[in-house]
Structure 1
Amino acid sequence: MDLSGNFFSGNLPVGVGNLVRLEELRVANNSLHGVVPGEIAKCSLLQVVDLEGNRFSGQVPAFLGQLRRLKIVSLGRNMFSGSIPLSFGNLSQLETLNLSENDVRGNLPEEIMRLSNLTTLNLSYNKFAGVVPHNVGDLMNLLVLNLSACGFSGKIPGSIGSLMKLTTLDLSKQNLSGELPIELFGLPSLQVVGLEENKLSGDVPEGFSSLVSLQYLNLSNNAFSGEIPATYGFLRSLVVLSLSRNGVSGMIPVEMGNCSDLEVLELRSNHLRGVIPVDISRLSHMKKLDLGVNELSGEITEEISSCSSLTSLLLDVNHLSGHIPDSLSKLSNLTTLNLSTNRLRGAIPANLSHISSLKYLNLSRNNLEGEIPKTLGSRFNDPLVFSMNRELCGRPLDRECANVRKMKRKKLIILICVAVAGVCLLALCCCGYIYSLLRWRKKLRGANGEKKPSPARGSGSGTDRGRGSGENGGPKLVMFNNKITYAETLEATRQFDEENVLSRGRYGLVFKGSFQDGMVLSIRRLPDGSINEGNFRKEAESLGKVKHRNLTVLCGYYAGPPDVRLLVYDYMPNGNLGTLLQEASHQDGHVLNWPMRHLIALGIARGLSFLHSLDMVHSDLKPQNVLFDADFEAHLSEFGLD
């Protein structure tokens, strides 16, 4: 019986107890009140009791502990009081227990920790006492643990590291203290971690960088210190990172630009210094960037406009200088822009008014000057938005721009002078032309005999067109994006010199090509006579359309006599997996830690999955055919050449 989401009021009828074969009772999100009738205990087959989102009161119903088949008990968002009944320990089949947003008090019964089938435990927003139970790790099947705003204190128990299936952990808004247990960083399925508004301390935990599935990490309003670990750049799945209101120092790691799915980065009210990393511009999914109340310096870079999804940009209370970039107008989704209390100078870009979605703007307490753009001043007519800028004038400040008026008058005078000078110069040129014309006519009249015909111009020019370097006709180096020639390729590889060989494979040699403009490419030369020109061109054109972040991208090809077949790829500067494994085995060079190995394996798997979706088989998968770009992301090579 599901009566959820209606406007029912009054008490829950005692007649519900007559439905002895009832298995599910759902009356969530109504306006029911009073106590829950004990007659429900007669429904011995009940598996689901969902009373969430009503106004039930009284003690938490202890009689529910008699219904041994219960799997879901949801009593959240009501007005229950008292403590959790000990009888709930009899519900051995219980999978979900939700008592959130009530007035439940006392200690958490030990009996709850024996419910081995429990997958969701939500006790948030109640008034428990004591510490988080030390044996919470006994709930081995737990997926969601939400104890936020429960009033717990003390340290987070290390037994939490036994919850290997846990995906969501929320211990926020309490009085928890001390450092995080190292066992927490060994939970492989963890996706959401909420620890904000506690008294946790120690360095910003580097251990979170090993949780490659992590999507949400909120450590704000604590006492963490130290620097942001550069290894957080391994968290490619991270969507939200909040470290606001701690004691974090140092610089923002440039490696954060590797978190390609990051949408929210909150680092407000810390002791960060240095400049805003340009690499942040790579975060194309970024929606909120909050770096306010720190010690950042330098200028706001033009590259930040590459974050096209940005909706909130908060850089207030820093030491930023320079001009406000015109390119901020490219942030078409921006709703909040706060650049107050910095050292910004120059004029306010008029094209900020082109951001139609902008709802909040604060440019106060800077060194801005000139006239406020009229369109912007009319949209944000509160003087506080532009206050404490001494050289700023115009509405809504009601400060006349005298210097602007003088500058316009000066420009007008200069324009008139330039126009007069131009007219005089034109008149002088006309007089000179007329004078030379008159002299030529006079000289022509005094001449005896006829003029010799002047030789025809451009004779034979049509016969020279289309000749030269043989660009029309003959084999060409076909490039999909860049424009280079076969001759430049020969020069870049030094006539395919042995010293430029990068690798040797079943499909020929791969050469490093260093071009004069600084571009570096990989040139694969297939064995002579291995494939005829027609088939080669078809396969090359087909391979040029195969694009994936974990595959080497074909940039172009060449097919020409005598049986020369070339394939041009992006250059991978960090070698291949075989070399990396060999270096790691000798403890020399790069050290392959487990998060890095995991990311490499994921990249290989994604590349293979994409090939299989195109009905392509790699047929030669080995470490030497796994190449790394500048960010050490894996790319499969030697595919599609059979």
Structure 2
Amino acid sequence: MANNSFTGTVPIEIRQCGSLHVLDLGGNRFSGDIPAFLGDMTGLKVLSLGGNLFSGSVPGSFGNLTELETLNLGHNNLTGSLPEEIMGLSNLSTLDLSGNKFYGEIPASIGNLSRIAVLNLSANGFSGKMPASFGNLFKLTTLDLSKQNLSGKLPIELSGLPNLQVIALQENMLSGDVPEGFGSLTSLRYVNLSSNSFSGQIPETLSFLHSLVVLSLSNNHITGVIPPEIGNCTGLEVLELGSNSLTGHIPTDFSRQLNLLDLGGNNLTGQIPEEISKCSSLTTLLLDANQLSGSIPDSLSKLSNLTMLDLSSNNLSGGIPSNLGLISALIYFNVSRNDLSGEVPVTLGFRFDNPSVFAENRDLCGKPLDRECGDVNDKGKRKRLIVVIVVVVCAACLLLLCCCFYVFSLFRWRKKLKAAAGEKKRSPARASSGSSRGRGSTDNGGPKLVMFNNKITLAETIEATRQFAEENVLSRSRYGLVFKACYNDGMVLSIRRLPDGSLDENMFRKEAEFVGKVKHRNLTVLRGYYAGPPDLRLLVYDYMPNGNLATLLQEASHQDGHVLNWPMRHLIALGIARGLAFLHASNMVHGDVKPQNVLFDADFEAHLSDFSLDRLTITTPAEASTSTSVGTLGYVSPEAVLRGEATKESDVYSFGIVMLELLTGKRALMFTEDEDIVKWVKKQLQRGQIAELLEPGLLELDPESSEWEEFLLGIKVGLLCTAPDPLDRPTMSDVVFMLEGCRVGPDIPSSADPTSKPSPA
């Protein structure tokens, strides 16, 4: 009866349920003391009372619950010391007392919980030292003692817990060194020791933790250098070392899989290493309040996923690289309080028009600063003049030749542009849509907007997107921005602007011609492309007015699922499967199947998007090895993560996750590492709780109907696709066959061998 609005006290009549194994009353508004009679229900294995308004202490009768495996009393108003009665429940595997008002020391008898795997005592008032008896909890995987008043050193016995994955001790008063023994806990994924009083240096042994995802040591008294060996933690996504007393340079061999790098508030010196640009997944780079010097590397513009860049309060000099304005995902930018000079790049000044983000740079000028570049102090002018004179004297002849060649090329190019403009005036603006191929400029060798079915020009496209205005952005990804383009004749298209680093023009044209031939009813078909200077690459697609599957599922969850009935969910799954099967039959791998990449046309038919974009963005084999996507967290298969390579089998796994999301309404990212959506579905099936799998909009399905059987078949298909062994997964052609069997029966020919013909409705 969890997550309702029940109030009052727990009725004593529940005691009569003598065979009850699971009692879940969490997430209600029960109040008063926890009933002592619950301790008489000795058959209980799971007791969950968390998220209520219970007060008082834990009843001593709970010591009778010797069969109890899970006890959740978190987020109530319980007080008192940690009950000794609970310490005698030797079968407990999960104990959650977080968010209460318990106080006193953690008793040494906690070591009696020999089977405990998850222990959460966070957000209470426990004080004193952590007992050494924690070393007896050999099955412990998660330890959360955060937000307490714990003090003293960490017990060395913690380093002997082989299964420990999560250590959360932030916001305490713990002191001493960070234990070197943590390096032996090879299963560790999350370590948060922030906001304590730890001192000493960062142990080099942490480099042994190849599974480590989060390491937070900020707001302590840690000193010394950041060990370069930390770059061996290849799975690291979050590294927080702020507000310590670290010195030395930033290591040049950080993992390329970093998503967030926060080194702010330290005493780091030296230059910003070029190697940071290899962290292709980096979304946040915070190096503020250090003593970094040198120039801002132009290579930072390669971080196409970067959303936050803070370099403020350092000693950086030189100009601001103009290419930083090409990072389309960037929403926060700050270079204030440095020694930067020159003009603020126009693109950055336009996007970040707050003068404070460029302030306190003595020789910086231009918008949005109030200082015009002509008003820079005379000293700076004299220095630049001397440099110019020296350069002219040393290389006068070479400079003269270069200028002559440049002027000659400029006049020649202007002549071509005038000729093209004249020809454009003499020709109609647009040809009929039935032509086999159209070009948006003349055939004089200049850049062209190539369309496969109709003619539109580059100028019309730029006007249709309002100069690629922010308000016309439909979506963002590692492959650039997608804009809505509304043309004067009423036609609407989607224009994808690829990021810098795409293929050269000739190779780009060849690859775009190839991708344009990939046509299927359930794929987004490439309608045209543009390749021209300065490194501008555009892809033209049909506009999908009904958004993507992620948005549709979110709307369904807010309307009790009635936005999506069973036939519609079935057709969506079948459409995705048909499109993916066609790609596999064409020896192509998608690599990132997820709800955001399933788009809907005006008739709500599913179209799989964002395939083959790696072919149009990777420039060299070296970049191919580091830039190719293997999927999105929650949808990517385990073997794809390990190998760093997407395969047809990993596509099938991702489809299976999407299938389970579509049927259950649960999001893949709602779950933890210990229980993903696949494990959750299997657990409901094993318990016989099939109704738990149903989205609210599907609850009206009759268990005796054929639609109920179809739903169960869909669940089984999703589980088959997510088999741990890739060899056990069906092919997408098999999946299409199974899903079509839901509706057409075995006697009707299947489209398991996908073609470009329209799929039957």
TM-score scaled to structure 1, two decimals? 0.59
Instruction: Specify the alignment match of 1:192 in structure 2.
Output: 166
* Cα 1:346–1:45 shift into 2, 3 Å: same
Once the two structures are superposed, the pairs formed by residues 138-537 of structure 1 within 5 Å of their partners are 138-280=112-254, 283-402=255-374, 418=400
Q: CA deviation at 1:388?
A: 1.2
Q: 1:144 & 1:314 partners in 2: Cα distance?
A: 33
Q: 2:257 & 2:270 partners in 1: Cα distance?
A: 24
Matching residue's letter, 2:19: L
Can you give the 5+ residue segments of structure 1 that lack an aligned partner in the other structure? 1-26, 427-547, 550-609, 614-642
SS of the residue corresponding to residue 78 of structure 2 reads: strand
Kindly indicate whether the alpha-carbon contact (under 8 Å) linking 1:132 and 1:153 is maintained by their aligned counterparts in 2.
yes
Instruction: Specify the alignment match of 1:35 in structure 2.
Output: 9
SS of the residue corresponding to residue 40 of structure 1 reads: helix
Q: CA deviation at 1:383?
A: 1.8
Q: 1:55 & 1:108 partners in 2: Cα distance?
A: 23
Q: 1:235 & 1:420 partners in 2: Cα distance?
A: 55
Instruction: Specify the alignment match of 1:528 in structure 2.
Output: none
Matching residue's letter, 1:357: A
Q: Is 1:82 paired with 2:56?
A: yes
Q: CA deviation at 1:419?
A: 9.0
Can you give the 5+ residue segments of structure 2 that lack an aligned partner in the other structure? 409-641, 644-724, 729-761
Q: CA deviation at 1:54?
A: 2.1
Percent identity between matched residues is 63
Instruction: Specify the alignment match of 1:452 in structure 2.
Output: none
Q: 1:129 & 1:420 partners in 2: Cα distance?
A: 78
* Cα 1:47–1:247 shift into 2, 3 Å: same
Deviations, residues 374-406 of structure 1 (Å, cap 9, x unaligned): 221222222221111121122222221106899
Q: CA deviation at 1:61?
A: 2.6
Q: 1:181 & 1:188 partners in 2: Cα distance?
A: 15
Instruction: Specify the alignment match of 1:465 in structure 2.
Output: none
Kindly indicate whether the alpha-carbon contact (under 8 Å) linking 2:156 and 2:179 is maintained by their aligned counterparts in 1.
no
Deviations, residues 343-365 of structure 1 (Å, cap 9, x unaligned): 01111111112112222222111
Quick one: which of 83, 87, 91 aligns to 1:109? 83
* Cα 1:420–1:192 shift into 2, 3 Å: closer
Q: 2:327 & 2:71 partners in 1: Cα distance?
A: 47
Answer 1 or 2: which has greater helix percent: 2
Q: List, as ranges, runs of 4+ consecutive aligned residues in structure 1 with deviation greater than 3 Å.
A: 403-407, 417-423
SS of the residue corresponding to residue 340 of structure 2 reads: strand
Kindly indicate whether the alpha-carbon contact (under 8 Å) linking 2:359 and 2:369 is maintained by their aligned counterparts in 1.
yes
SS of the residue corresponding to residue 161 of structure 1 reads: helix
Instruction: Specify the alignment match of 1:60 in structure 2.
Output: 34
TM-score scaled to structure 2, two decimals? 0.50
Q: 2:25 & 2:312 partners in 1: Cα distance?
A: 48
Kindly indicate whether the alpha-carbon contact (under 8 Å) linking 1:290 and 1:314 is maintained by their aligned counterparts in 2.
yes
Deviations, residues 289-337 of structure 1 (Å, cap 9, x unaligned): 1111111100001110100111111111110001111111111111111
Q: 1:405 & 1:193 partners in 2: Cα distance?
A: 54
SS of the residue corresponding to residue 229 of structure 2 reads: helix
Instruction: Specify the alignment match of 2:519 in structure 1.
Output: none
Q: 1:309 & 1:287 partners in 2: Cα distance?
A: 5
Q: 2:231 & 2:402 partners in 1: Cα distance?
A: 56
Q: 2:15 & 2:403 partners in 1: Cα distance?
A: 103
Q: 2:33 & 2:335 partners in 1: Cα distance?
A: 54
Q: 1:421 & 1:75 partners in 2: Cα distance?
A: 80
Kindly indicate whether the alpha-carbon contact (under 8 Å) linking 1:371 and 1:404 is maintained by their aligned counterparts in 2.
no
* Cα 1:420–1:307 shift into 2, 3 Å: closer
SS of the residue corresponding to residue 86 of structure 2 reads: helix
Kindly indicate whether the alpha-carbon contact (under 8 Å) linking 2:365 and 2:376 is maintained by their aligned counterparts in 1.
no
Instruction: Specify the alignment match of 1:459 in structure 2.
Output: none
- How many residue pairs match? The answer is 400
SS of the residue corresponding to residue 270 of structure 2 reads: coil
SS of the residue corresponding to residue 117 of structure 1 reads: coil
Matching residue's letter, 2:312: S
Larger radius of gyration: 1
Kindly indicate whether the alpha-carbon contact (under 8 Å) linking 2:263 and 2:286 is maintained by their aligned counterparts in 1.
yes
Q: 1:212 & 1:132 partners in 2: Cα distance?
A: 27
Q: 1:104 & 1:422 partners in 2: Cα distance?
A: 84
Q: CA deviation at 1:41?
A: 1.4
Instruction: Specify the alignment match of 1:595 in structure 2.
Output: none
